[in-house]
Amino acid sequence: MPNFRRRILKLEAQMTDTSGLVPHTQKWLEHWDRQWYLYMTDQIPREALQNSPWQTLAAVIQYSHDPRSLVGSIPPYDEDGSS
Burial class (CB in 10 A: 0-12, 13-18, 19+), 7: exposed
Burial class (CB in 10 A: 0-12, 13-18, 19+), 71: buried
pLDDT (tens digit per residue) in 39-62: 999 999 999 998 888 889 999 999
Question: CA angle 72-75-77, nearest 5°?
Answer: 120
* pLDDT tops 90 at residue 38: yes
Distance in angstroms (rounded) separating the CA atoms of residues 77 and 79: 7
Distance in angstroms (rounded) separating the CA atoms of residues 83 and 35: 22
Domain residue spans of the chain: 2-73
- pTM of the predicted protein model: 0.75
Q: In this predicted structure, what is the pLDDT of residue 13?
A: 65
